[in-house]
Structure 1
Amino acid sequence: MRFKIFNSYVLPTVLLIGLTFFSCSEKKEETAKQEVIAEKETETKSDQKTILFFGNSLTAAYGIDPEDGFAGLTQQRIDSLGLKYRVINGGLSGETTAGGLARLDWFLEDKPDVFVLELGGNDGLRGIALSETKKNLMLIIDKVQEKYPDTKIILAGMQIPPNMGTEYAREFTEIYPAVAEEKDVALIPFLLENVGGIKELNLPDGIHPTEEGHKIVFETIWPFIEKEIE
């Protein structure tokens, strides 16, 4: 009788212990798998180099899906080529060169292997002193070069309509080649080449490119990016 009672209680207990052990083992195995996956993802990320686009609403792809902007299209091209680069979009609508300089440190916590500087357009549209715009662009480049001497820097040239006068617009355009030469960085002569001023390639505001416009901007940018990641 005692034997039967022992059997009726012990057997379920043994089974429960066995199931618990199996469940724990299964959880441990799953945890181990997750740790291995996480480790591999970390290794993959550490293997990747970084391209940082640092700019204003043009970089941020104002008015369209960021993936369809020139920064997003750069990532797509890189992925299609199987290159180990990730693109960071550091675009902020309304940003000026002064604002960019103020927020730059946060973006430099990690090293960008390629730094694309696209700022100044809002300075020009607001009539900010040309000397101020030039100074800020140079200070931004200085910060990057001082912290990461090996980082490749590409400066995106910009032009503005003559709202502030033709002389101001001309001198504004001349800032970019002057800064590029003085700081010895690559220069995209005009970011919006074949897009700026063309109605059908811009949103109704006449300033920001459409998806089609961004495709053209990307093709303007890509040769400069490609040269730095070879």
Structure 2
Amino acid sequence: MPKSKITETLLNSTVSKYRNLLKFCYFLMVFVVISCGNDTKSKVSADTNENATTETETEAPATTSSKTILFYGDSITAGYGLDDTNDAFPGIIQFKIDSLDLNYEVVNSGLSGETSAGGKSRIDWILNQDIDIFVLELGANDGLRGLPITETKANLQAIIDAVKAKSPSTKIVLAGMQLPPNMGQAYTTQFKAVFSDLASENKIAFIPFILKDVGGVKELNQSDGIHPTVEGHRIVANTVWEVLGPVLNSEL
């Protein structure tokens, strides 16, 4: 083979080897770059997830469960005739509780026109919730309708029994009621005694007369002479608080 031919062959072989080496180096560099990129992304992703977890744990609000005070009554509790039911005495008591930073939530379960029998019929449904303090204000409509006093007492006792059976730890507060003298002396006297007797027999907190300083006072009642005005409800709230306040303190 001529010398020039040999030289050309050797040259071509050398060039081919260098080309292959360059290709190998190129692929190696690409592989290194990709691998580093993936590692960086993984690290960033891990750091992001860790930060998100830490932030979530930091920002998670503390869960606090407030206790419940349920007012179970008739139109007086419901706030009949008021433009805003928050002006009824349960709403005023909630405002007082909030101002004292107490951990209680008021539930108003008043129903206008409710009798003790009506209260008895719906008590099981009402007790489908956790109640820490149960304020019972019923019986006025029984008295105004001249219903038998024995039935009123039996119905109120049934309500008290239902609350105790569902939750023995629930504190019960009974609101007493009185009637105007036109209902007859004997009837009004016996009616008044029903509430004090129930409180004594069941050993529960007692508000002697929920409409104290309001009942029969014209300027503190609406035109019907029965339902308190906004100012009247403020007085009722103070009367209720005189008994309810100590009950709340005993729960703390």
Partner of 1:26: none
- CA deviations on 1:122-155 (whole Å, 9 max, x unpaired) are 0000011000000011110000011111111000
8 Å CA contact 1:58, 1:208 repeated in 2: yes
Deviation at 1:159, TM superposition (A): 0.3
**Counterpart of 1:136 in structure 2: which amino acid?**
N
Q: Does structure 1 residue 51 correspond to structure 2 residue 81?
A: no
8 Å CA contact 1:97, 1:120 repeated in 2: yes
Distance in 1 (alpha carbons) for counterparts of 2:130 and 2:209: 26
Query: Which of 120, 135, 138 is the equivalent residue of 2:139?
Result: 120
Partner of 1:106: 125
Deviation at 1:110, TM superposition (A): 1.3
Q: How does the TM-score come out when normalised to structure 2?
A: 0.74
8 Å CA contact 1:51, 1:113 repeated in 2: yes
Q: 5 Å matches for 1:50-199? A: 50-64=68-82, 65-199=84-218
Deviation at 1:162, TM superposition (A): 2.8
Partner of 2:219: 200
Q: Does structure 1 residue 216 correspond to structure 2 residue 226?
A: no
**Counterpart of 1:181 in structure 2: which amino acid?**
S
Distance in 2 (alpha carbons) for counterparts of 1:82 and 1:112: 19
Distance in 2 (alpha carbons) for counterparts of 1:195 and 1:71: 16
Deviation at 1:107, TM superposition (A): 1.3
Structure 1, unaligned stretches of length 5 or more? Answer: 1-28
Q: How does the TM-score come out when normalised to structure 1?
A: 0.81
Distance in 2 (alpha carbons) for counterparts of 1:111 and 1:209: 30
Deviation at 1:223, TM superposition (A): 2.0
CA RMSD for the aligned pairs?
A: 1.9
Change in 2 beyond 3 A, CA 1:79/1:172: same
Distance in 2 (alpha carbons) for counterparts of 1:227 and 1:113: 14
- CA deviations on 1:137-190 (whole Å, 9 max, x unpaired) are 111000001111111100000001133321101110010000111111111000
Matched residue SS, 1:91 = coil
Distance in 1 (alpha carbons) for counterparts of 2:168 and 2:246: 18
Matched residue SS, 2:200 = helix
